[in-house]
Amino acid sequence: MADRACFVIALVFLHQDLIDNPRYPSWSRGEPGSTVTFAISVDFGGPPSPQELIVILKEIDSDKAALRAIDELEGKKKESVRVEKAKVKNEPPAIKRVAEGDEEIEIGGKKYKCHWVETKSDDGATWDKTWRFASGQK
């Protein structure tokens, strides 16, 4: 009996730091195949570049929503998959550097040599790619 009581107490402590995920409820009302489309205008100092992000609900249950995202910018598509859990830890996700490199990019008709860094959160909810260039370039 004492072993069972210790097990229950341990489970309570393990779940204490879980909170409701604020992104889960909007997906929990949908059915598989439901989509959300975002139209975004990105301005790099020249003509605005249209960007479209489509998020598709693949699966849903009381614990999680499985999502597929298709992000398109300037004709280039990037697909990703993520899971929105109903309960999440009450702490910010860790951000990790997943790749980096050098690239020449064109902005407003000018070319710049840049160093880029790609990061991703450990929960898969955030992805970022940032380009940096030396301010002395003309």
Give a yes or no: residue 6 inside a domain. Answer: no
Do 79 and 34 belong together in one domain?
yes
Of the listed ranges 13-17, 93-97, 114-118, 122-126, the least confidently predicted one is 13-17
* 14-18, 54-58, 123-127, range with greatest mean pLDDT: 54-58
Give a yes or no: residue 2 inside a domain. Answer: no
Give a yes or no: residue 112 inside a domain. Answer: yes
Give a yes or no: residue 10 inside a domain. Answer: no
Give a yes or no: residue 7 inside a domain. Answer: no
| CB 117 within 8 Å of CB 100 | yes
Three-state SS for 32?
A: coil
Do 59 and 112 belong together in one domain?
no
pTM for this model (two decimals): 0.54
> Per the structure block, which two tokens stand in for 67?
């999502």
Query: What range does the domain containing 108 cover?
Result: 93-138
Model confidence band, residue 11 (pLDDT cutoffs 50, 70, 90): very low
> Per the structure block, which two tokens stand in for 28?
């929990």
Sign of CA dihedral 78, 83, 88, 89: negative
Do 100 and 44 belong together in one domain?
no
- What's the burial of 70, exposed, middle or buried (CB within 10 Å: 0-12/13-18/19+)? middle
Do 35 and 59 belong together in one domain?
yes
d(CA 136, CA 138): 6
Do 85 and 100 belong together in one domain?
no
Write down the pLDDT at residue 70. 93
**Count of domains in the chain?**
2
